Chain A
Amino acid sequence: MSPRTGPRPNVPVTIDGVEHKAFEGETVLELAQRVGVRIPTLCHLEGLSIYGGCRLCVVEVTGDRRLSPACALEVTAELEVTTQSWTLHEHRRRIVELLFAEGSHVCAFCVSSGSCELQDLATEHDVDHIHYDFAHPDAGIDASHPKYSLDRDRCVMCTRCVRVCDEVEGAHVWDVAMRGSQGRIVAGMDQPWGEVADCTWCGKCVLVCPTGALSFKGRATSEMVHDPEVVAFLSTAREQGEWLDRKADA
């Protein structure tokens, strides 16, 4: 998030029994990331609007019988949250399993294998097999774009692509069509991606995709490396004068 100026953090918040000082208006996820507490996320991406759909970042809040998504939970004084418990682990594990079961995430020949947030989440949550039957969807591949391709069966509906295109690039090529398990990402007015004149070919959607759903053409198995941090970089680089550094890194 953007660099915080002004007062020092002064909101006392307890995470997993340890008290931290949070900035006013900070979310629990931001605080946790700042102090080095790992909370799993999937749809969340720094620099984009908060979506709260994947539900992996849910945490327990003392005094609230309901779980809250850390990505959207703003800190309040004396807030007490638990980010790791057996129950949370089980909930998160089941959510990861559901994602595997509803799609066709065959890592074996995925362009993103090795650079996939879903794959990492499975490992993090000890998912060694899927308890639910696989849907074996056939939602279709859109390879009409000259540079990129979309495999909808590998999509986890995080809508990072929708948001980055709308909020950062300003092109609003992507949207969600249909609902529930029939929901899918569509380009333009549900056109082949390559025919959507609004697409600027910027590739941000591809860079932020957490799985192998969006990829550069010409990449073989495990050759697609995403760069979701590009969004945070784009949103803060100018103020922080990072343009040159990044160039040098590359």
Chain B
Amino acid sequence: MSGETAVNEATKLRVATAWLGGCSGCHMSFLDLDERLVELAAMADLVYGPLTDIKEFPADVDVTLVEGAVTNEHNLHLAREVRANSKYVVSFGDCAVTGNVTSLRNRMGDPADLVQRVYVEHPDINGRMPTEVVPALLPQSEPLHEVIPIDVYLPGCPPSADRIWTLLARLLESLAAGEGIPDLTWRGPEDLRFG
């Protein structure tokens, strides 16, 4: 993609990111796009995500990158909103793709016991069950594709900025040309890869 291509503001793609059960490392890696963010801004508007201050997930998003596993009720709610309002959803990073670190709790059994240990037994002072703000954990932490259909997978923990850019540039270029999802398998140093 070349930044010189004149992009009509009206046809600019609407891109969002979402942060579910993950460490935000994928978003950090996204920020590592550095000067390529400028190129991205030329092609697309960032309409939602932790990097913006928009509270509600907007309608008519073209591409949403979703970081993190679905581990609590809020994640599930947001995942569904993303799916309902996005043309294409990218499962962004290992937590979204495999469950990764977030899903390590799955082998520990009932999340109620887990919460009990973390919030009641272990704190030195004021140990008590959270009743507000903290969303309830789902019985199991799941990869994103377990709860919503996914169009593109971008594994990595985190996917490097180069890998993100390789995929995003191809994807957006193809969508801007009205061609749908391109072939996203490629060989090279920025190969799709877990971890």
Q: How far, in whole Å, are A109 and B145 apart by their CA atoms in the complex?
A: 22
| A119 and B99 contact, CB distance less than 8 A | no
Interface pair A130/B98, CB less than 8 Å apart: yes
Count how many chain A residues have C-beta atoms less than 8 Å from C-beta atoms of the other chain.
Answer: 24
CA distance A129 to B98 in the complex (A): 7
Docked-complex contact B145 and A106, CB < 8 angstroms: no
The smallest beta-carbon distance between A172 and chain B, in angstroms, is 31
Given contacts A128-B155, A134-B106, contact A108 B91 (CB under 8 A): no
Closest chain A residue, CB of each to CB of B108: A138
- Given A137-B107, A138-B107, is A108 in contact with B192 using a C-beta cutoff of 8 Å? no
Question: Is A126 within 8 A of B103, CB to CB?
Answer: no
Number of residues of chain B lying within 8 A (CB) of chain A: 25
Q: Is the CB of A129 within 8 A of B185?
A: no
Q: Which residue of B lies closest to A139 (CB)?
A: B107
Choose one: A106, A122, A126; the contact of B100 (CB below 8 Å): A106
- Residues from chain A with Cβ under 8 Å of B155 in the complex: 128-129
- The reply to whether B153 and A129 contact each other, CB–CB distance below 8 Å, is yes
Q: Which residues of B in the span 93-139 have a Cβ within 8 Å of any Cβ on A? A: 94, 97-101, 103-104, 106-107
Contact A129 B97 (CB under 8 A): yes
A185 an interface residue at 8 Å Cβ cutoff?
no
| Contact bitstring A109-136, B, C-beta under 8 A = 1, else 0 | 1100110100100110011111001101
Q: A107-B195, A108-B100, A119-B193 are in contact. Are A126 and B91 (CB under 8 A)?
A: no
Contact A128 B192 (CB under 8 A): yes
Residues from chain B with Cβ under 8 Å of A127 in the complex: 194
Say yes or no for A100: interface residue by CB 8 A criterion: yes
On whether the beta carbons of A128 and B153 are closer than 8 Å, the reply is yes
Beyond A129-B97, A129-B150, A130-B98, whether A136 also contacts B193 by CB under 8 A is no
Q: Is the CB of A108 within 8 A of B195?
A: yes
With the chains together, A206 CA to B99 CA distance in Å? Answer: 27
Per the bound structure, the CA–CA distance linking A134 and B98 in Å amounts to: 8
List chain A residues, Cβ under 8 A from B193: 119, 122-123
A126 to B194, CA, bound (A): 11
Do A122 and B98 touch across chains, with their CB atoms under 8 A apart? no
Assuming the A-B contacts A129-B153, A136-B106, are A100 and B195 also in contact, with contact meaning beta carbons closer than 8 angstroms in the complex?
Answer: no
Instruction: Provide the bound-state CA to CA distance between A128 and B91, in Å.
Output: 10
CB pair A107 B194 closer than 8 Å: yes
Q: Is the CB of A106 within 8 A of B101?
A: yes
Q: Is the CB of B101 within 8 A of A108?
A: yes
Say yes or no: is B148 at the interface (Cβ < 8 Å to chain A): no
Are A126 and B97 touching (Cβ within 8 A)?
no
Task: Write the nearest CB–CB distance from B23 to chain A, whole angstroms.
Answer: 9
From B94, B146, B154, B191, A108 is in contact (CB under 8 Å) with B94
| Contact status B106-A129, CB under 8 Å | no
From A100, A108, A129, contact of B157 by CB (8 A): A108
Q: Shortest Cβ distance from A239 into chain B, in angstroms? A: 37
Q: Does B68 contact A (CB under 8 A)?
A: no
Q: Is A107 a contact partner of B157 (Cβ separation < 8 A)?
A: yes
Decide: B98 and A100 in contact? CB cutoff 8 A.
yes
Chain B residue numbers with a CB within 8 Å of A113 are 195
Q: Which residues of B contact A109 (CB under 8 A)?
A: 101
Asked whether any CB of chain A lies closer than 8 Å to the CB of B143, the reply is yes
| Residue from A100, A106, A136, A138 having most chain B Cβ neighbours under 10 A | A106
Q: Given the complex, which residues of A lie within 8 Å of B103, measured CB to CB?
A: 134, 136
User: In this complex, which of B103, B146, B191, B195 has the most chain A Cβ atoms within 10 angstroms of its Cβ?
Assistant: B195
Task: Look across to chain A and name the residue whose beta carbon is closest to the beta carbon of B25.
Answer: A108
Alpha-carbon distance A104/B100, docked complex (angstroms): 9
B residues near A, CB below 8 A? Answer: 91, 94, 97-101, 103-104, 106-107, 143, 145-146, 150, 153-155, 157, 185, 191-195
* 8 closest cross-chain pairs (CB), A and B: A107-B195, A108-B157, A128-B153, A113-B195, A136-B106, A107-B194, A136-B107, A138-B107
